[in-house]
Amino acid sequence: EAQVTQNPRYLITVTGKKLTVTCSQNMNHEYMSWYRQDPGLGLRQIYYSMNVEVTDKGDVPEGYKVSRKEKRNFPLILESPSPNQTSLYFCASSLSASGDYNEQFFGPGTRLTVL
Amino acid sequence: DAKTTQPNSMESNEEEPVHLPCNHSTISGTDYIHWYRQLPSQGPEYVIHGLTSNVNNRMASLAIAEDRKSSTLILHRATLRDAAVYYCSRRGNMLTFGGGTRLMVKP
């Protein structure tokens, strides 16, 4: 089944404890991205990757890191999480960024709470 | 600052058509217009997209204004399962979402 998977689905952690949220897709998509969703602020893009070894900042990249060493995986890293990073996180992928085949497929979400 | 604006909420009766508007007056000439919907406790789900011409698929239709400053998502016959938050977005290298319209469908 074609899908985007995220792990963990739920995470409660404490301020300053490094964490990684994994994202994987099995559709051979070139483009992958991370979003956070907050009440009143909607969905905002954190980082995106046009292809392996190519990453770019989105609208809210502060406090996050990403890497794209292989096509299928795009982990989101919080080196020193803070309470303002408590949010619902979505990973997504698409065949490409440009042209007509750029609809995004979203994962199920990771609910992160930073105490 | 480019913005995508949508009404906060809309209501429809079951089996009737629904027209969900979106304003994207500062959209770039190469950005696509995408629509996604989100059901409770799920990730956004792709609905439809277009660049300049109107588009139809099995889920919905997308009507794009000639000047591309606005678009309308059309659900031809709303069902209770269509109750969701519908997001209009601009798709270039990034995907920039509007605030979303919560669609309520009455039986």
Largest CA distance in chain A: 42
Question: Each residue of A2-31: pLDDT tens digit?
Answer: 899 999 999 999 999 999 999 999 999 999
Mean pLDDT over each residue of chain B, to the nearest integer: 93
Chain B residues closer than 8 Å to A108 by CB: 42-43
Tokens (6 digits) for A84: 């303002």
Token pair 């954190």: residue: A46
What is the spatial distance between Cα A93 and Cα A31, in angstroms, rounded to a whole number? Answer: 5
Residue B33 scores a pLDDT above 80? yes
In the three-class reduction of DSSP (H, G, I as helix; E, B as strand; rest coil), residue B80 is classed as: helix
Instruction: Note if the bond before B21 is cis, omega within 30 degrees.
Output: no
CB atoms B95 and A59 under 8 Å: no
In the three-class reduction of DSSP (H, G, I as helix; E, B as strand; rest coil), residue B52 is classed as: coil
Residue A60 scores a pLDDT above 60? yes
Give mean pLDDT, residues A63-84: 97
CB atoms B42 and A108 under 8 Å: yes
Q: For residue A56, which phi and psi values (nearest 5 degrees)?
A: -145, 155
Do A44 and A58 meet the contact criterion of CB atoms below 8 Å apart? yes
CB atoms within 10 A of CB A95: 16
What is the spatial distance between Cα A103 and Cα A94, in angstroms, rounded to a whole number? Answer: 6
Token pair 């995408």: residue: B34
pLDDT band at A65 (very low <50, low <70, confident <90, very high): very high
The answer to whether B94 contacts chain A (CB < 8 Å) is yes
Q: Which amino acid is at A52?
A: V
Q: For residue A83, which phi and psi values (nearest 5 degrees)?
A: -55, -30
What is the spatial distance between Cα B62 and Cα B47, in angstroms, rounded to a whole number? Answer: 10
Give mean pLDDT, residues B26-47: 92
Give mean pLDDT, residues B50-60: 92
Tokens (6 digits) for A49: 């990757």
Q: Bridge-partner residues for A7, per DSSP?
A: A22
Chain A: residues touching B (Cβ < 8 Å): 4, 33, 35, 42-45, 48, 50, 56, 58-59, 90, 92, 97-98, 100, 102-109
pLDDT, position A80: 97
pLDDT, position B1: 52
Residue B3 scores a pLDDT above 70? yes
What is the spatial distance between Cα A107 and Cα A109, in angstroms, rounded to a whole number? Answer: 6
Give mean pLDDT, residues A75-84: 98
Lowest average pLDDT, out of A69-78, A100-109, B81-90, goes to: A100-109
pLDDT, position B72: 98
pLDDT, position B2: 62
Residue B62 scores a pLDDT above 90? yes
